[in-house]
Amino acid sequence: MQIKRYGTRERYIYGYGSEYGAAVGNAYIRQQVSDTVVRSVTAATMAGYQDLSEFERGVIVGAREMGHSISEVAMKFGFSRATISQVFREYRESGKTSNLRHRCGRKKITQERDQRLLTRIIKRDRRETLPQIAADFNAGPSTSVSVRTIQRNIIGMGFRIQRPTRVPFMTARY
């Protein structure tokens, strides 16, 4: 178990599946820990909607299996009552505690290894143009990608396109 601080509240983060989540859900309510929430804050949570992880689903199912009310579980773990009843109903009807939803959309063409290669190419010569970077990247063992894809990845990695500016010398000597 890992404790992380977000603002003024401590949040517990577990890296286990739903079976462990169910056991922890039982023990968690039994301990009567106050002011703790199982989920961590992410951008998707702040946006208002996020799929529950297998662990979170397991915690909900475990707590409900122990006989705790929906309101008790909602108060303890910070989920809405509707979410808790929906997760438990799915578990009762189909035995499902995992989220079977897959990511939709096209798969990413560049993998993490390609991102590292691209970073090395960029840092080797910062003055290279996008077509030169794309040619270097496509010469390697990875799949061939367009200049536009390279540009999107570069921006996504935090590199910014910036021309060196001419500034006056600080003293007459330099």
pLDDT in tens, 37-93: 555 444 444 555 567 888 888 889 999 999 999 999 999 888 899 989 988 998 888
CB atoms within 10 A of CB 149: 16
Which residues on adjacent β-strands are paired with residue 37?
A: 11
C-alpha–C-alpha distance, residues 125 and 118, integer Å: 11
Q: Specify whether the CB–CB gap between 61 and 88 falls below 8 A.
A: yes
Helices (H), 7-146: 18-31, 43-47, 54-65, 70-77, 81-94, 112-124, 130-139
The dihedral over CA atoms of 44, 93, 102, 84, expressed in degrees to the nearest 10, equals 10
Q: Each residue of 10-42: pLDDT tens digit?
A: 444 444 444 555 555 555 555 544 444 555 444
Q: Write down the mean pLDDT value for the chain.
A: 75
Chain centroid to Cα 142, Å, comes to: 25
Mean pLDDT to the nearest integer, 2-10: 45
120 pLDDT band, cuts 50/70/90, is very high
Per-residue model confidence (pLDDT) at position 148: 95
